[in-house]
Structure 1
């Protein structure tokens, strides 16, 4: 199994269980995703909640974790550009010469692509919520029910498990 870690934060962001497509000359990876509910889920097993002290009309739903997923608030254009400048500077310092050149030659067009979709994105970070770490961007293609995720390919470090 292969796991991809964020080069800056060290957080695991992706595994080889998910196929990716390269965008913007390999600067971005696009991955089809699906939402998974984490935490407690209210399951109706057919019991009568009125006889068991529950509220049949849907009142309080104890056990449901309202904060199952952490998400950053949306970026404004200026804030996103500031983030990208800092991210590019930090990432270039961690890349080998050949990778640096390829990244530098293509990150501008990738950033323009991201800016064109900025209003459509949801932003996610790794477990440590590291400020300078890589963002994972999610959006819905053509009204799809499940999101498509974008990763910065050069920001991922391949780890064989």
Structure 2
């Protein structure tokens, strides 16, 4: 399995166990799915719930679970509420500058860096044009110049997908 980490923070962002689509202009779209989280009521074999005060009619609501994005749960994304388009644009400029420096430090070829720089404006325009549809996340560290993970839903309205910068990821095998 290959896990892709944020080149700037080291946060785990995606893995090759999910469907990864090259969306062009240096962006990847990673399909996820909604899973139910919470309200797990695990009963061990041989346990007597009534003797242990865990009757089914006591406690929380039956089936009180909430849907969560599997990618957010698996990679510990932190949801960011109220991020405006203007704030994102300012953070994106900082991110791009830091990423180019990090790419040079990491020994990436000038061709790859120039490809990223030439693709980035079109990708940013695409993201900003769809901004109101995104749920906004960052990796676990919430680093100041960390990659934003932008989540939207496919045309079917059921399949969530995350948009990430492919040049901002480094891969490692586990």
Please confirm whether the aligned pair reaches a TM-score higher than 0.5, indicating the same fold.
yes
TM-score, normalized by length of structure 2?
Answer: 0.75
Q: Which residue of 2 aligns with 1:136?
A: 149
**Deviation of the 1:160 alpha carbon:** 1.9
Does the aligned pair in 2 maintain the 1:74–1:122 contact within 8 Å?
no
| Structure 2, gaps ≥5 residues long | 44-48
| Structure 1, gaps ≥5 residues long | none
Query: In the alignment, does 2:119 pair up with 1:106?
Result: yes
Q: Deviations over 1:89-116 (max 9, x none)?
A: 0101111222210000110000000001
**Structure with a larger share of its residues in strand:** 2
Deviant stretches of 4+, over 3 Å = 42-45, 67-70
Mapping of residues 33-72 of structure 1, within 5 Å: 33-38=32-37, 40-43=38-41, 52=55, 54=58, 58=61, 70-72=78-80
CA–CA separation in structure 1 for the residues paired with 2:42 and 2:12:
34
Where 1:94 maps in the other structure, the secondary structure is helix
**Deviation of the 1:55 alpha carbon:** 6.1
Q: Which residue of 1 aligns with 2:172?
A: 159
CA–CA separation in structure 1 for the residues paired with 2:8 and 2:42:
43
CA–CA separation in structure 1 for the residues paired with 2:82 and 2:123:
19
Decide which of 74, 81, 97 is 1:73's aligned counterpart: 81
**Deviation of the 1:156 alpha carbon:** 0.3
Q: How many residues align?
A: 152
Mapping of residues 121-132 of structure 1, within 5 Å: 121-132=134-145
Q: Deviations over 1:51-95 (max 9, x none)?
A: 936169x49x7xx79x97731014222111101101100101111
